[in-house]
Structure 1
Amino acid sequence: MADENVDLNVENFPKINVAPAYMCAGKRREFLHNKVKKLPRSVKDKIIVLKNMQLDYIQLEEQYFQQLYTLQSEFQDRFQQLNDQRQSIVMGTTEPPAEEPNYNAVPLEVGPDALTEQDCAQVQSFYDDIEENCKGIPNFWLTILRNIKAFAVLIHERDEPALKKLVDIKAKFDKLDSFTLEFYFKRNRYFSNTLLTRQYFLRTTAEDDKPFHFDGLEIYKTHGCVIDWYPNMELTEGFNSTFTSDFQTWTFESFFEFFYIPDARLDDEKNKKLRDMDFELAYLLRNKVIPRAVLYYTGDIVDDENDKKEISELYFSFDDDIESEGSVEIIGNDDIDEYVNPSTNAY
């Protein structure tokens, strides 16, 4: 029990020196601004000159990133030629002759967390039922997405039959400072579209009211597409009969929500983490997964190299309201970013 005679006046506490970095962002900004205002006039004059120089630096950065985007667009056409060859092999339209590998195989390191039969039994695999003389590589893209935690958490069991019809994913650099992710599908019983898209718009210049916030090309808005679902086949919604023979509409979490996120939902400050996660997934697909798809398929690239958790202890959910039970770990929207940056362990 605290001594009632102790004087809690702040002047009686020993002075503790801590760095401004330990303040929350808002307080830190206010603290630093106030400190700078109290600096000697000569120092403040120098700071004004330096900040004007910073604006000149930012203008050069704008030119740099705009030219970089142009260069990426030019090379994307060349990259796509190889991606088209890959797609023809995956689809089975081309049967390539056998080749010897031009790379050195990297031996797997067997440590204390070595793979066990129990691990294998618990994980659903699309590698097991592939026939010897199959056409192309079945379920190539679905397998890749399920090998990456950042996307696996978006895929639900009811999505998988439709995603088995996914035959290619492309990144298209548009001429209006944007890029589009294109998902190509075979004909299926769920929707009539053969192409689903998400377009991401890039800010290439600093904002007039916040010039010092410029940090290179950044996504600031996105447009999805309309999925033309066949009757009663919508994977994001369904119907459930009640005892009164009426029907209730149920909304389901689905991978296909990726193609339609209202702008208002992303613009809401409360959904900043959702927005950042969505944009990180877009960059991951464009910059890593699409260019190196086969390495995600083979496991030469894994997206959580330092993660030592047992697979059996993980339960992935986007429901922030669910609480963990026992050894089950809930990974919510705000945790996905830790799985987005992949590590390469081969080639």
Structure 2
Amino acid sequence: MTDPLFTPYQLGDNTLPNRIVMAPMTRARTTQPGDIPNEMMAAYYAQRASTGLIISEATQISPQGKGYSFTPGIFTADQIKGWKTVTSKVHEAGGRIFSQLWHVGRMSHESFHDDGKPVAPSALSPDAQVWVVNPETGVGEMVDCPLPRALEREEIKQIEQDYVQAARNAIEAGFDGVEIHGANGYLIDQFLRQTSNHRSDEYGGSQENRIRFLLNVAQAICEEIGAHSVGVRLSPFITQRNMNDPEIIDTILKAAVELEKLGISYIHLSEADWDDAPTIPERFRRDLRAVYSGTIIVAGKYTKERGNQILADKLADLVAFGRPFIANPDLPYRLQHQLDLSPLDGDTLFGGTDKGYTDYPALQK
């Protein structure tokens, strides 16, 4: 009997050969200046095209949405052209790839903004760090995020339109769909939580108001490119980056009810993946299933065994793997044939050359 992970799956218009997803992972390898995707990135993604679906590294929708050095954008002609190279190589290798659309909000650094101020729903610190390359040394380091400024209502409307334009650009660049990054303490997640959103207008206060920004973005993108090509990533159980909101589970379930009405392709759960992270309660998984009938992707330190189990229990439809894909470009083959996984070089995660990026060998011939 074939393990669930290695069975085909229909995701919108895309027939996936297996239920393994390559999770989005920031690698900071773009060409400078301009944060432009390049041939090295195309080779990296194409090497991993045997997976059911690739979700690209987080990609900023505008200059304002940037929070880390050397991360790609999808708002200039050169960036779109660069991404076309990536998607073409992935498709030539038989793969499918979605673009993860990203606005970091307050998870940013003053060097990326003309006024030195990242933006957020409210002027509240994330008490966190981002990876920034020192222009004098050329070396990247983790630096503190400054206090952001609160967005004006008119600016929020503009950001919603930036998301729509980014989705349009992604389809032009050859992506098979887009994933709206609403997780991990970035801008959309900041709107969702009362710990980061102290607004008193229609974007803050009640749960209905705090999900408004997410739903406005999702609806507009669905209208632009079709709901079958749209996913949303959420992280209900993260607490870091000052995101510990006791209402977040109810808020996310309320958002899921509305996302069901929009008919989006999937919800992608970014589960905490550090060693002492809380276990995701089965009740939440069943509550989500009860209100959302679309595809559910889970990500967070899954193994082959855990992945097969959650699929067999019908609490998820696809399982995303992150770091194992870095050193194992043929991860689905290795998992299916019970082959050893290569260890990754942690010193080469962010920035650099092909070392620790495209030089990991595949066992599959």
TM-score category of the 2 structures, normalised to the smaller one: under 0.3
| Higher RCO structure, 1 or 2 (CA under 8 Å, sep 6+) | 2
Larger % of helix: which? 1
Q: Which has the larger radius of gyration?
A: 1
